[in-house]
Structure 1
């Protein structure tokens, strides 16, 4: 691929066409008091690599739009070597990490708003939701994240009332759905399920209003997860099948794979082994067709071959194949990015369960201890505490009482009150 691949990927992550990026850059130039402006032709010279180092004002505007350095966007000054060619997925992850910036230190959302509403507001709110997602990947769901997400949804809805174009208004509604469903997820992961359903109902309404297929699928995916947490396995399967039926899943093998994997988990919990393994096979087939290097929306950035292995481990353990579950957990851990700390801890807990179900009690206890080491410094999300509760209950059933008692005494503080 020729030209500035880094900028192409950054634009795809933000959903920019050339004209929209030009508009966003011009908004930043205007805010900075600059008289300069750019158009489609200028953006095209950036993309083709004809211009490798824009003027200072345009560099500053690009950094403000994308929340990262121009070097991260593939630009380089005259006399310097061009950035080396890299795998698109590596570029995408670096861009997201740089754009997230200091997400772990704070959750900034609402800033001073200009009197007019346009693409720059959409970009700013999209940056905010991506910072929240990055923070969730690191720490897991918690009430502070829920409040921040709801504040973002409220701002998006307030801005759409002042929007001057139908396109910007639709994007703001979709962002409000994204924020609201993120608030729901924070409650699901925290194990506080009562308010999650209400948030998902609202998020689905907003997504359907503007016929946004990404947000519609996100909501059904979360609805399947919530139902499973509530032990309503029939609803979990129905919600996952609704995700399969969305336009996002029909057009994208990656989305289809997630929907089939979520269906497999619901069916496994419902005790339907044959159907669960069939859905798991569909998920694997779809993943084999997916372009995992292509840019994707932030909400589904977590889903990869590693996550499919993690879901495979759940399905296999539920249908009575703990050895296969253990193998899948190891594959997931080998492929998970280091930044996905919560997912790594959760998969490690699943690994411990699969070892316990094979009678490897000492190894299972050692593995479960790693969960607390991975999450050291942050409270365990409620969903993870519930999983460790499952481990403790099975430990009581399968191991000598002395071992179960020692495990509980050793980890009681981190596990029960984290």
Structure 2
């Protein structure tokens, strides 16, 4: 891969995080800001591409003013290098380093509300993942990006989306850049890997609390690359993931997407097919279907999972689709379905049986335990619900597991009538303190 294809990853990350998902989006936004500031300078997509090329030069005065106003940060934080000026002091002295650190921290604190937030350490992860790509040959590059994407997915499961997302964005930028010049065979493999990465990026954005349009953008990109590479199963899998990302208040859409994953012109492998049937069961419960219909959908999920070959080693993001979908995961998700269907005691029994295993990463355990706490409230066990919620909160707070925290807020609302109980009061207080922080 030619060295000139390496991108200015800080600029790419800042652009995507602010909602300008394409270079065309950024160029249009730049022109609008330039008119607002009454600057004469306009830019083309070609100029954006030059800024992202990895050979970024210091923009002229007008462009600097527009860029800083658009991104609300210093140009150095967008990957631009200030021209060296002869002085009597070393540019890399302690004072300079402290100043740069302070500037960057202020910059990224300013992104709160535009989650996910990229901090200094996260940007380092992104840089390592992406800038080294040019050192590899095409086949080596694929292996490097694949292993880095798998590691990012493991990072998410352990310590949350904010730590994993910068690396994933860097990988996707590297894939997009490398695919422009790769031969057909390598390009197809790059885009197939990109489809997995884009689906992961959609999940990470959702769990980090990003706007719905950011999640939708990455789902669309994942389906586009799956379609280009002729991977119908991946296209169906993204439909399933879209169903899982759909809010409870849009149960009909959730059901449509989950059904499309199993009925379209494609064949899902047994494990993700089982997951799609389980998602249909949850959607049916949310639409008010009878519990027998929910149970029949879960029976189809168990039947599909029974057709799966034994998993070969540890499941990875880039391995066989849905390879991490196990009996234990299906059982706790069945508990969620029964909770949604109003069968709280049945849900509690399933959670108690299957959450006791060590089968789940911290992110999943936090989410499933939060769901368990909600089922306990509905089953008339507020004190046990509060204790389960505190257990989930201990896992979710530091890593900011967004879906778990959202479920905990739901539990807190359900516990409002029991607010004077000590365990409930402690849980609601800790959750409130985390929200304020």
Common topology (TM > 0.5): yes
1:360 aligns with 2:378: no
In the alignment, the residues of structure 1 paired with residue 357 and residue 293 of structure 2 have an alpha-carbon distance, to the nearest angstrom, of 27
In the alignment, the residues of structure 1 paired with residue 172 and residue 305 of structure 2 have an alpha-carbon distance, to the nearest angstrom, of 32
Shift of 1:351: 1.4
2:307 corresponds to which residue? 289
Shift of 1:116: 7.5
Shift of 1:401: 4.8
Residues 117 and 163 of structure 1 are in contact (CA less than 8 Å); yes or no, is this contact kept in structure 2? no
Residues 396 and 405 of structure 2 are in contact (CA less than 8 Å); yes or no, is this contact kept in structure 1? no
1:207 aligns with 2:226: yes
In the alignment, the residues of structure 1 paired with residue 407 and residue 172 of structure 2 have an alpha-carbon distance, to the nearest angstrom, of 30
Cα 1:228–1:411 change in 2 (3 A) is: closer
2:347 corresponds to which residue? 325
1:304 aligned residue (326, 341, 352): 326
Q: Secondary structure at the match of 1:349?
A: helix
Residues 234 and 266 of structure 1 are in contact (CA less than 8 Å); yes or no, is this contact kept in structure 2? yes
**CA RMSD for the aligned pairs?**
2.6
TM-score under structure 1 normalisation? 0.67
2:143 aligned residue (117, 123, 127): 123
1:198 corresponds to which residue? 217
Residues 193 and 226 of structure 1 are in contact (CA less than 8 Å); yes or no, is this contact kept in structure 2? no
1:351 corresponds to which residue? 372
Computing the radius of gyration from Cα coordinates, the structure with the larger value is 2
In the alignment, the residues of structure 2 paired with residue 127 and residue 216 of structure 1 have an alpha-carbon distance, to the nearest angstrom, of 22
Shift of 1:334: 2.9
1:227 corresponds to which residue? 246
1:156 corresponds to which residue? 175
In the alignment, the residues of structure 2 paired with residue 114 and residue 333 of structure 1 have an alpha-carbon distance, to the nearest angstrom, of 44
Gap runs ≥5 in structure 2: 1-121
In the alignment, the residues of structure 1 paired with residue 224 and residue 153 of structure 2 have an alpha-carbon distance, to the nearest angstrom, of 21
* Aligned positions of 1:109-188 closer than 5 A: 109-114=129-134, 117-142=137-162, 144-164=163-183, 166-188=184-206
Cα 1:396–1:249 change in 2 (3 A) is: farther
Cα 1:389–1:115 change in 2 (3 A) is: closer
In the alignment, the residues of structure 1 paired with residue 229 and residue 256 of structure 2 have an alpha-carbon distance, to the nearest angstrom, of 23
1:243 aligns with 2:261: yes
Bigger Cα displacement from structure 2, 205-214 vs 341-350: 205-214
In the alignment, the residues of structure 2 paired with residue 157 and residue 106 of structure 1 have an alpha-carbon distance, to the nearest angstrom, of 18
Shift of 1:417: 4.4
1:256 aligns with 2:273: yes
Deviations 1:170-218 (A, max 9, x none): 1101122222211110122223342101211121111111112343133
1:379 corresponds to which residue? 399
Q: Secondary structure at the match of 1:364?
A: helix
Q: Secondary structure at the match of 1:159?
A: helix
In the alignment, the residues of structure 2 paired with residue 140 and residue 327 of structure 1 have an alpha-carbon distance, to the nearest angstrom, of 28
TM-score under structure 2 normalisation? 0.64
Residues 226 and 234 of structure 2 are in contact (CA less than 8 Å); yes or no, is this contact kept in structure 1? yes
Gap runs ≥5 in structure 1: 1-102
Q: How many residues are paired up?
A: 307
Cα 1:132–1:417 change in 2 (3 A) is: farther
Residues 116 and 162 of structure 1 are in contact (CA less than 8 Å); yes or no, is this contact kept in structure 2? no
Shift of 1:267: 1.5
Cα 1:417–1:207 change in 2 (3 A) is: farther
In the alignment, the residues of structure 1 paired with residue 393 and residue 425 of structure 2 have an alpha-carbon distance, to the nearest angstrom, of 18
Residues 118 and 168 of structure 1 are in contact (CA less than 8 Å); yes or no, is this contact kept in structure 2? yes
1:17 corresponds to which residue? none
Cα 1:121–1:412 change in 2 (3 A) is: same
Shift of 1:380: 2.6
1:270 corresponds to which residue? 287
Q: Secondary structure at the match of 1:191?
A: coil
In the alignment, the residues of structure 2 paired with residue 113 and residue 406 of structure 1 have an alpha-carbon distance, to the nearest angstrom, of 49
